[in-house]
Amino acid sequence: MSVPVGTDANSTAKSRSGTVAEFGLVDVDPENLEAAIQEGEAARQAAMDAFALPSVKFDIVEASRSPVPWGGLSPNGRPTYPWQFGKGADDRSIPPPAYLLRHEIGHDLFVRRLVPSTRDDQYGGDAPDWLDEMAAVAFEGEDLRSVRRWAAARYAREGRLIPLRRFLTMTHPEMEAGSIPASSDGTARAFEAVSEDTPMFYAMASAFHDFLRQRTGNHAVVAEMAAVVRRRGSLERWILRRTGHGGRNDGIAALDAEFQAWIAVDPRHGGDENPELEARTGRRADVRCRDGDARRLPEPSGGAADDGWRGRTSGTDRDAAATRAVPGCRG
Ligand SMILES: [Zn+2]
């Protein structure tokens, strides 16, 4: 836990001022300080846990007062993340939820430190789009992840999960739809989700991340895959080998079947407590959610609860509602 201890002791006249946190400086309005430090600290921990990057440094600043763009460098050379914590000056735009800041920091650190981008016309860095998204999802907090897990379990029940073979080769649905504006800094943050595939894409990124972490036993499996991409190896071959499906002609199909069976029984995906899943998988069916039927929960919209924000209420508000509801169901 970071504790603000005053202004930066090493600052020069030109340096940024702000509250010192373990990850760097926080220069935001007082009412946003707690949220900014909480997000920054969560991102710092995630960089260690998911990326195996010890002691990353960055600054978080109030977007309305920031002269540097997203990911621009501070006078001290730290990446800077301007974030709109409150309403805009015109009081019309709705700010993105603060809990998405760590997701966006994950995107930036992944491209900055693990798989850089050598082209402008792509989502994130040179890694496959699913890996770019998985890297950011790996930074998310448990509340948001539980929404994604709930969505993945539901899509699996309904047979609507994106087949693994397609997922591993597809362009990001919003990139495909042309809804992500080109950005010069290699990050794509401001877009409105329009593709029907987008919620499924994020649910897959979350569930496959959980699956790979468990199967490989490596919490930093994203960093391990990033290394495969950097040395221009075959990610598909690596995944098959690390999950015990190497050397088979139908490896991806077999892996997909195993992945879907795993979602149905994994406790974090509701496998222990979800009556529908239990009914389908033949497991004990006498358990009921205390708060009623999970089917009543609103459908999370993965894309909207993600990169960028245009001040609309779609998606994330519903995600937040689902976030509150799901733990009640899980007891
Ligand atoms: Zn993202």
Distance 301 CA to ligand 1 centre (A): 13
260 HSE (CA, 13 A, CB side): 18
Q: Ligand 1: distance of its center to the CA of 307 in Å?
A: 5
CA of 108 to the centre of ligand 1 (A): 10
Is the model's pLDDT at 82 over the cut of 70?
yes
156, containing H or E segment: helix 142-157
Say what the alpha-carbon torsion angle 38, 39, 40, 41 is, to the nearest 10 degrees: 50
Whether 234 contacts 242, CB under 8 Å: no
Pick the more confident residue, 67 or 148: 148
Amino acid 182: pLDDT? 56
Collapsed DSSP state (helix, strand, coil) of residue 202: helix
In this prediction, residue 191 carries a pLDDT of 61
pLDDT digits (tens, 9 = 90+) for 162-221: 999 999 999 888 887 887 765 544 344 556 678 888 999 999 999 999 999 999 999 999
**What is the distance in A from the centroid of ligand 1 to the CA of 67?**
24
Residue 293 C-alpha to ligand 1 middle, in angstroms?
30
pLDDT at 110: 96
Report CA(156)–ligand 1 centroid distance (Å). Answer: 22
> Of the candidates 104, 85, 105, which has an alpha carbon nearest to the alpha carbon of residue 95?
85
Q: What's the gap in Å between 18 CA and the centre of ligand 1?
A: 28
Paired strand residues for 83? 62
pTM of the model: 0.78
Model confidence pLDDT, tens digit, residues 247-298: 888 899 999 999 999 999 999 998 655 555 445 444 432 222 323 333 333 3
pLDDT at 152: 96
Residue showing tokens 């892996």: 255
Q: What percent of the chain has pLDDT over 70?
A: 71
- Among 89, 88, 54, 68, residue whose Cα is nearest residue 25: 68
How confident is the model over 102-112, as a mean pLDDT? Answer: 96
Summarize pLDDT for 301-325 with one digit per residue, the tens: 444 344 433 333 233 333 333 333 3
Residue 89: its pLDDT value, please? 63
